[in-house]
Structure 1
C-alpha cells in the first residue's frame, strides 16, 4: 500500500461554495468568490457546476469546456478553482480517489488502483517504519502493509489475524500490517537482514509509529509468543 495520500481539508460539500479571497484579483478572485461545486470524474477530469452552467475540466491537459477557455484560450476560473481545491485537499488529485480510513473513519485520498481497506496519513505505515506493539510494547520494523482485512488475512497456522485473542480489541475490518521484531533483526546482523526475519501480522491500529525507531530498544521481546505469524 502506498502512502501518497492527502487528507481532505474539509468534508466534501454537495452544494456550490465560495472560498476565502483576500488579496486576489481578476480570474483568481472570481475562481474563489463565485459559487462552484467541483466533482471528480473516474477519468481524472472534473465537473464544475456553477450558476451559469456546468463545465468539464482536464487539469493535466489544462483545458476546460467553458467559452472563456474554448474561445480565448484563457486559464479560466474553472481551471483555477479545480487547481485550488486539489491543492487545498478538498478534492482528490488526478489518479486518486476518496477512501475512508479503516481506523478513524476520516476521508483520505489514495491512488485509484488501490483496493481493500485503506489508512489515512495519521494511521498509515510504510515499509521501514519503526512501530511499537500496543500489547507487548515491543519494537518492530514494518515490512509491508497488505490490502487484506484482519478477518480475512490468514497466518501460517491457517487462522485469520482477527481470531487471535490478543487482537480482540482491534477491528477485523482493518488492513493487516506485516512487521518483524527489531531484536530478531539485530540477532541476524542488522537492518539489512529484515527480509530474513520472521514476519508477524497485526491489525493496523495495534501498532503505533515510533519516530526515533532503532534507538528505542527497551521492552523489545526476544520472542513473539501469542502473535500472529505471517
Structure 2
C-alpha cells in the first residue's frame, strides 16, 4: 500500500513513520479528512476523496463516519457493516479508508492501542499486549544503540531493555535505580535500560570478528539508567579514506571518553 499524505485542507499526518517502534502522537480532535485521489477510480477513489472520520474501538475494530452513514469496520477480516460489504461482499470504501489511515499512522493498527509515553507524556501507539511503561520512539532504545549519558557525557552501548520502572529495579548493591542522587532529575516511573561503557570495550583493531565484540559486550560490567538519562547518538558518515567513522569520528564502539563515569554506584 502506498504511503499517502493529506490534502492541505485535511488534518496533517504525523511527521514520523511507522518503523516498528511506538511513535509520538499529539492529542487532537478527530475530524473528517480526505486524501489525494488523483489516478484512482471507483471505491478506491471514494475511499480517498470522500470526507470521513475513523475512530478506533477498544476491540481492534473501527467506527467510520461518512456522509452516507456510520459503520463498523473489522480491518483484519476486511468486513464492514455497510450494504456494499455486508450484502455485496465488496471491499468497500470504508474498509479501504481504514487501511489508508492505518498505513498513514493516523490510527492504531488492530493489534495496537494508544498509550502515553512514560517520559514525555505524548500519545503513541504500542502493542496491545505490551506491559509496563511505554516509550515513544524518541525515548526508546534498542540493544546495540549508541547513547550518551546526559549527566557525564560518556558514550554507552545499550545491551538490554529492562522495561520495569526505576523505582522497581534494584542494582547489584540492592538499591533502587531511582534512589541514586545522579538519577534524581529523572522520573521514578521511567523504564530502565542496561548499558555498558564504550571505554570498557576493546578498540576497533582488537575486534577481529563479530563474535569477539558480542563476547566483549557480555563480559563488560553493566550499569542501569532511567530512560530519559540516555540520549541517542546519531552516527554520521565517516571519512573512509582516513578510516574515520561515527559520532566524534571515534567509531561507534572503539572510541574513548574522558572523565569519570559517575556510575560506579549503580551497577547492574
TM-score with structure 1 setting the length: 0.85
Q: 1:200 corresponds to which residue?
A: 223
Of the candidates 186, 191, 195, which is equivalent to residue 175 of structure 1? 191
Once residues 140 and 220 of structure 1 are traced to their aligned partners in structure 2, the CA distance between those partners, rounded to angstroms, is 13
Structure 2: stretches of 5+ with no match in the other structure = 1-18, 236-245
Q: Residue 18 of structure 1 aligns with which residue? A: 33
Report the alpha carbon displacement of residue 201 of structure 1 after superposing the two structures with TM. 0.8
Query: How many positions carry a matched residue from both structures?
Result: 227
Indicate conservation of the 8 Å contact 2:198/2:256, yes or no: no
> Of the candidates 37, 55, 67, which is equivalent to residue 53 of structure 2?
37
How has the CA–CA distance of structure 1 residues 34 and 126 changed in structure 2, closer, same or farther, with 3 Å as cutoff? Answer: same
Per the alignment, do residues 9 and 229 of structure 1 end up closer, same or farther by CA in structure 2, a change over 3 Å counting? closer
CA shift for structure 1 position 167: 0.8
How far apart in 1 are the matches of 2:83 and 2:155?
A: 59
Residue matched to 2:78: 62
Q: CA RMSD in A?
A: 2.7
In the TM superposition, residue 208 of structure 1 has moved relative to its aligned partner by 1.2
1: CA distance, partners of 2:154 / 2:80 = 54
TM-score w.r.t. structure 2 length? 0.74
The runs of 5 or more residues in structure 1 that have no matched partner are none
* Equivalent in 104, 121, 125 of residue 105 of structure 1: 121
Instruction: Map residues 114-129 of structure 1 onto 2, 5 A cutoff.
Output: 114-129=130-145
Q: After superposition, what is the alpha-carbon deviation per residue over 1:170-218, rounded to whole angstroms, capped at 9, x for unaligned?
A: 1212111111112223289752121222211101111111233625623
Shift of 1:10: 5.9
If asked which structure has higher relative contact order (CA below 8 Å, sep 6+), I would say 1
Q: Please state how far the C-alpha of 1:58 moved relative to its aligned partner.
A: 1.9
Deviation at 1:78, TM superposition (A): 0.7
Q: Cα gap change, 1:162/1:10 in structure 2, threshold over 3 Å: closer, same or farther?
A: closer
**Does the 8 Å contact 2:113/2:125 carry over to 1?**
yes
- Corresponding position of 1:130: 146
Aligned mate of 2:100, from 77, 84, 87: 84
Question: Shift of residue 6 of structure 1?
Answer: 4.6
**SS of the counterpart of 1:28?**
helix
Secondary structure at 1:82 match in 2: helix
